[in-house]
Chains A and B, each alone.
Chain A
């Protein structure tokens, strides 16, 4: 870098308004870019956190979601007897045969709007098998009673979910006895009750899935092979973590594609803003460029200098965009997960990596927008510029 940076910095400060406007355009693009990717990242993270790699999820063969699966009580007892299943402190196998249904619930802000919420009927073991699940208020539902525990992300979004209140679904009243957290995972968007209570009111004597803790997580392949080849049942065995990551992919990818598409279109506008500003800068500073070239600065140095100037403006805009985007970190939103058709609430995740990506994106916009003006600067005809 031969032409001193101070020349660019002071020149930029000489035209604060046009610089600020250009930077602002880039800032908006970066803010939207980070915002949309924070949404995608939050959604993905919620599902990634849901599954544990120590657990396996068993579905009926060919079922691609819990909703389309069905397993008999007999299958449940075969699985519970498998040597691959870990045993709890009480000596019982860590297996949770579960009922999984979607129930339509009106939303709290607009009761005409209905969202499908997951109602999961679990065995008492589920609270141990899912080690990230923990009751944060109240007490666990008692066996044999119409009691439910509500995921904490649901509570503020749907009415009648407070402890002591009664929620009505499937033709019955259910007493809310606790709220639970699950490390920000998708479980926090579910309502849990006892499987034996949910079975009769929903789909009869079938479970939708069976989740169990592996005695040796490293032996997943072996467990999968032995269970899937067991002639007494027809099941698919998934590692729980993989299953939920898989679920995040369809919508996760779409969100990312949308983020790039929308910000890509916006970026074109911002880049043209930079092009405009830099052309104006080159035009008004032609005599200065003529002087630099006369002093013996290489045209390439002039090009680099103006590119750098554009990149500096863009980086400032990028930094502002990061600041605009930061406050959305942690804000909870919800969407329908297309892989399960259920409502899932999650929080925006603005990560350091995302901020860095936003900054790099800004600089790329600056360099793109600065290129043609910088090339014009490098080609300024000295004689005309000085006249």
Chain B
């Protein structure tokens, strides 16, 4: 069974008199252990899709199942707990709490677990090590570069060992070199640690690293297997 099962999802935004139908009967599977790049023109619904998978937004109709759970049938409390356990999310920007250090930001998801202080410290160190930021542990976000900030956000997304890592244009604000670093990192997470990754990107290089590339075009999917890996 696929990790993510999207079945016949409709999503409509109503703004004043204007009605925007983003999805009209979208169905999609994301397999466990896959690395999927989601591409498509601006406004095609990529962010909306990611938000539906993470339970941050509700579909107008249809079902979204992730790791066996019907995401939109859960109460707010269940959803919060579910998200803490299964989802690591990286936004395009504004990921980090500016008043907390890199360490404290990465530790946040672990505060929702039963891990002891030492166990948390160990995990945070490992996660920051994976993103090669061992030497920036006690820096504040404003003392980090854009690429470093995104890597901290990725460390935070993986620190609690979630089932699924979702990234919405994580390299959108980065230069070529930084975004290359981030992508290489994601590839490692997928191949070495077996993490399931879904990344929204406009970057063709990024798509090259993925095993599966999905093209969204006006709410409809065009699937394509990636060439490289």
Contacts and interface: CB of A to CB of B under 8 A. Distances in A.
A188 B103 CA distance: 66
B60 to A, nearest CB: 14
A6 B94 contact: no
Contact of A10 (B54, B57, B82, B99): B99
Given A7-B99, A383-B51, A295 B57 contact: no
A293 B112 CA distance: 12
A131 B143 CA distance: 73
Contact of B94 (A2, A293, A386): A386
Interface string B100-119: 10001000110110000000
Interface in B72-89: 76-77, 80-85, 87, 89
B89 A294 contact: yes
Contacts of B104: 4, 6-7
Query: Which of B95, B97, B108, B112 has the most A CB atoms < 10 Å from its CB?
Result: B97
Contacts of B95: 291
B80 A297 contact: yes
A352 interface: no
B56 interface: yes
Contacts of B10: none
B99 A11 contact: yes
B111 A2 contact: yes
Contacts of B77: 298, 300
Interface in A1-33: 2-4, 6-7, 10-11, 14
A62 interface: no
A295 B82 CA distance: 10
A7 B97 contact: yes
A288 B80 contact: no
B112 A382 contact: no
A14 B142 CA distance: 13
A217 interface: no
B80 A287 contact: no
Contacts of A159: none
Interface size on A, as a range, is 20 to 34
A10 B101 CA distance: 11
Nearest to A285: B97
Interface string B108-139: 11011000000000000000000000000000
Contact of B85 (A292, A296, A299, A383): A296
Contacts of B80: 293, 296-299
Contacts of B99: 6-7, 10-11, 14
A299 B76 contact: yes
Contacts of B76: 298-299
A10 B97 CA distance: 11
Given A296-B81, A296-B84, A386 B100 contact: no
A299 B81 CA distance: 11
Interface string A285-328: 00110011111111110000000000000000000000000000
Contacts of A296: 80-85, 87, 109, 112
Contacts of B109: 295-296
Contacts of A291: 91, 94-97
Contacts of A10: 99-100
A6 B112 CA distance: 16
Given A7-B100, A295-B109, A299-B76, A386 B91 contact: yes
Contacts of A292: 97, 108
B158 to A, nearest CB: 13
A298 B111 CA distance: 12
Contacts of B57: 382-383
Interface string B166-198: 000000000000000000000000000000000
A295 B56 contact: no
Nearest to B153: A291
A352 B171 CA distance: 58
Contact of B84 (A7, A295, A300): A295
A291 B85 CA distance: 15
Contacts of B96: 291
Contact of A6 (B51, B82, B100): B100
A382 B56 contact: yes
B56 A2 contact: no
B58 to A, nearest CB: 10
A296 B159 CA distance: 13
A383 B56 contact: yes
A293 B81 CA distance: 10
Q: Which of A2, A6, A10, A386 has the most CB of B within 10 A?
A: A386
Contacts of A288: 94, 97-98
19 contacts: A6-B100, A7-B99, A7-B100, A10-B99, A288-B98, A291-B96, A291-B97, A292-B108, A293-B56, A295-B83, A295-B108, A296-B80, A296-B112, A297-B80, A297-B84, A298-B80, A298-B81, A299-B80, A383-B57
Ranked nearest first, the 9 interchain pairs of A and B with the lowest CB-CB distance are: A296-B84, A10-B99, A296-B83, A287-B94, A298-B80, A382-B56, A383-B57, A294-B89, A296-B80
Interface of A: 2-4, 6-7, 10-11, 14, 287-288, 291-300, 382-383, 386
Interface of B: 51, 54, 56-57, 76-77, 80-85, 87, 89, 91, 94-100, 104, 108-109, 111-112, 156
